[in-house]
Amino acid sequence: PQAKLIFIISLFLGTTITISSNHWVMAWTGLEINTLAILPLISKSHHPRAVEAATKYFLVQATASTLVLFSSMTNAWYTGQWDITQLTHSTSSLILTAAISMKLGLAPFHFWIPEVLQGSPLTTGLLLSTVMKFPPITLLFMTSQSLNPSLLTVLAILSVAMGGWMGLNQTQTRKIMAFSSIAHLGWMTIILVYYPKLTLLNFYLYAMMTAAVFLTLNSMKVLKLSTLMTAWTKAPSLSTILLLTLLSLAGLPPLTGFLPKWLIIQELTKQDMAPAAMIISLLSLLGLFLYLSL
């Protein structure tokens, strides 16, 4: 218990350091503390699959952190600024976009997410999908003025497409949640340059709904779809709540999950990005099908 407590405190400490820092090196330190704190939580069961997931996670996150440091050093080399909001050099902002995309698991850097989530316990999966994504999203939020809008739009559309498409033939609940996470990140990324606050709103709502789903699956001990089929008889009320939460994640109109999608589509049409809005809305139908299969 003491070790677990230390890891969880370190997790929140790393997140706090990153989201409250102005200096790139401090932000990087927070990201590193975060990565090191979650690794024991992933590999806790000592199952070969869990150890493999922890190794994959470590390699991806270490690469991404190095790229974050590299982009900030390049920016400091050209501008003399270590301030996070002053990321003005174009190459630095491109490298940073790639690094944060790796950290978050945006397509085409998304391949590690399903593998890592599948190898970790459900509670750790919840941490990976919510708490661990908060610091990188904060860094994107702080540098949003200097990022390349067209690159982010391409990454976003790719993410929504891959998240919906690859989740269709999954039978493992953790993998389905992983692909759902990729698709939601696409929605957050597409609006980032135009209206950063909407990205944060989307993230908060996504974190709440994902927490509800993961905790429900955890209490019903559901790891694959076949066990979910019989869960209805054991816990009818929980299953009903799960149904509503999943439809909310899918973004069906009367439910909460529709709100960020609606606002994002509205803002995109204001910014003369109607084609992108249309593509991303049609692609999210794939995601709807994915949740309905659950």
Give the long-range contacts of residues 8-17, CB within 8 A, separation 24 or more. Answer: 8/37, 10/34, 10/36, 10/37, 11/37, 11/38, 11/41, 11/127, 11/131, 12/131, 13/37, 14/135, 15/131, 15/134, 15/135
Phi, psi of 148 (to 5 degrees): -85, 115
Burial tier of 189 (Cβ tally within 10 Å: 0-12, 13-18, 19+): buried
Any bridge partners for residue 23, and if so which? Answer: 83
The DSSP H or E segment spanning 209 is: helix 196-219
Q: What are phi and psi for residue 105, nearest 5 degrees?
A: 90, 35
CA dist 279 and 226 (Å) reads: 33
268, 191 in Cβ contact below 8 A? yes
- Of 162, 146, 156, 165, which is closest to residue 268 (Cα–Cα)? 156
Q: Which pLDDT value is given to residue 226?
A: 87
Q: How far apart are CA 226 and CA 56, in angstroms?
A: 28
CA dist list (Å): 34 to 10, 18, 131: 7, 9, 9
Q: What is the DSSP string of 94-161?
A: HHHHHHHHHHHT-TTS-THHHHHHHHS-HHHHHHHHTGGGHHHHHHHHHTGGGS-HHHHHHHHHHHHH
CB of 63 closer than 8 Å to CB of 103:
no
Structure tokens at 203: 């993230």
Contact predicate 260/202, CB 8 Å: yes
Domain ranges of the chain: 1-117, 148-293
Quote the DSSP letter at residue 87.
-
For the chain, which ranges sit under pLDDT 50?
none
> Which SS3 state, helix, strand or coil, does residue 248 take?
helix
Provide the pLDDT for residue 294: 77
Distances, alpha carbon 151 to alpha carbons 106, 108, 155, 171, 259, in Å: 12, 12, 6, 32, 25
Q: pLDDT tens digit string along 137-149?
A: 999 999 999 999 9
